[in-house]
Structure formats: C-alpha cells, structure tokens
Amino acid sequence: MSEKVVQEQTQEQQEQEQTQQQEQQEQQVDMKTYLELVEKISKMEQTLANEAEKAQKIAEKEQELFQKQVQLTLKENGLDKFADIVKVSNENELADVVKKLQNIVNEIRIESGYVPADHVKTDEYSVYEKKKDVAGMIATKISKLFQ
C-alpha cells in the first residue's frame, strides 16, 4: 500500500507540475502579448502626438490665411486703414463689417465734402446788379414777363 500512496503522490506532483508549467506558459504568452500591446500603444501615442501637432499647424495656417483675406478684402474696398481695429472670426462677420465701414466712410465723405459757402447761382440780374446797370436789371425783369 505504501507504493500506491507514493504513486498517487507522484502523480499528484506531476499533475501539479504540469498545471504550473501550463500557467507559466500562459503567463509567458500573456507577457508577450502585453509587451506587444505596450509597444503598439507607445507607437499610437507618438502618432497621435504627431497628428495633434499637424492639426495645430494647419489651424494656425488657416488663421493666418483668413487674416490675409481680411486685409485683402479691406484693401479692395479702400478700408485698409481699419485693418488694425477689425477683428472678425468668419467671412459673414467680415462682410457685415465691410458694409458698415463703407457706409460710415461714405457718410463722412459727404459731411466733409466741399460745400462752397459764397458760391451762389449767377443769373443775368445778379451780373447787372454787380455792374450797377439799372437798365440791364429792368430789362431782365421785363424779359421774364414775356416768356
């Protein structure tokens, strides 16, 4: 009987050893998979960081291009002196601001335009009056009666 017990114990030990070996193999496979995944994750993080940088550069270029468009639009409409104070974020706002500025500039031009104060309409009567020619003044008044 003691042989049977010894055999049973050795079988149990062998089974335990086999299960341990299987567990070790599984752990090794899991470790391999883990290391591969860690490597893939690090590559993805690098790629993501590069993409974020590229996206940021593209956004900066778009903003720069839009600012140039704003300056060009203002210059085309004769409003380039307002480039420093015009702050818009899209094309619709730009169009509205340009219209408003054009209206303001046109109003200022009209208000500050040359309006001669001493310029009056000269007619024949005024000419004779300046010359102090009474006969000419009477003739122009009478000629208007017969028209």
User: What's the total number of domains in the chain?
Assistant: 2
131-143: per-residue pLDDT in tens?
A: 889 999 898 888 8
Distance CA 108, CA 100 (A): 12
24-53: per-residue pLDDT in tens?
A: 777 766 788 888 999 999 999 999 999 999
What is the average pLDDT across 74-82? 89
pTM tops 0.95: no
Q: Are residues 48 and 72 in the same domain?
A: yes
Q: Are residues 16 and 77 in the same domain?
A: yes
- The tokens for 71 are 């300056």
Q: Are residues 87 and 18 in the same domain?
A: yes
Q: What is the residue whose two structure tokens read 């752990």? A: 27
Helices (DSSP H) in 77-132: which residue ranges? 91-112, 124-131
- Which structural domain range is residue 124 located in? 116-146
Q: Are residues 65 and 86 in the same domain?
A: yes
Backbone φ and ψ for 79, nearest 5 degrees, come out as -115, 25
Q: Are residues 60 and 47 in the same domain?
A: yes
Q: Are residues 60 and 126 in the same domain?
A: no
Q: Are residues 30 and 89 in the same domain?
A: yes
Alpha-carbon distances of 120 from 56, 111, 117, 129, 139, rounded to whole Å: 66, 20, 8, 14, 21
